[in-house]
Amino acid sequence: MKRIAVLCGGRSAEREVSLKTGAAVAAALQNRGYEALTVDAVSDLAGQLSRLRPDAAFVALHGRWGEDGTVQGLLEMLGIPYTGSGVLASALAMDKGLSKVVLRAAGIPTPDFQRLDPSTVDCTVELELPLVVKPNREGSTVGVTVVRRAEELAGALVTVFGHGPDALAEVFVAGREVTVGFLDGAPLPVVEIVPEGGFYDYVAKYTPGRTRYLCPAPLGAEMTARVTEVAEAANGALGCRGSSRVDLIVDDEGTPWVLEVNTIPGMTPTSLLPKAAAAAGIGFDELVERILLGARLQA
Q: Count the Cβ atoms, other than its own, within 10 Å of residue 172.
A: 17
Q: In what order do the strands lie in the sheet with 3-8?
A: 35-40, 3-8, 56-59
DSSP E strands in 137-228: the ranges are 145-147, 167-171, 176-183, 186-187, 191-195, 211-214
From CA 246, how far away is CA 259, in angstroms rounded?
8
Residue 7 forms beta bridges with which residues? 39, 59
- The three-state secondary structure class of 26 is helix
Q: How many residues are there in the chain?
A: 299
The residues annotated with a catalytic role in the active site are: 14, 140, 206, 245, 247, 260, 262, 266
Helix or strand (DSSP H, E) at 104: helix 96-105
Question: Do 153 and 167 form a contact (C-beta atoms < 8 A)?
Answer: no
Is 297 strand, coil or helix?
coil
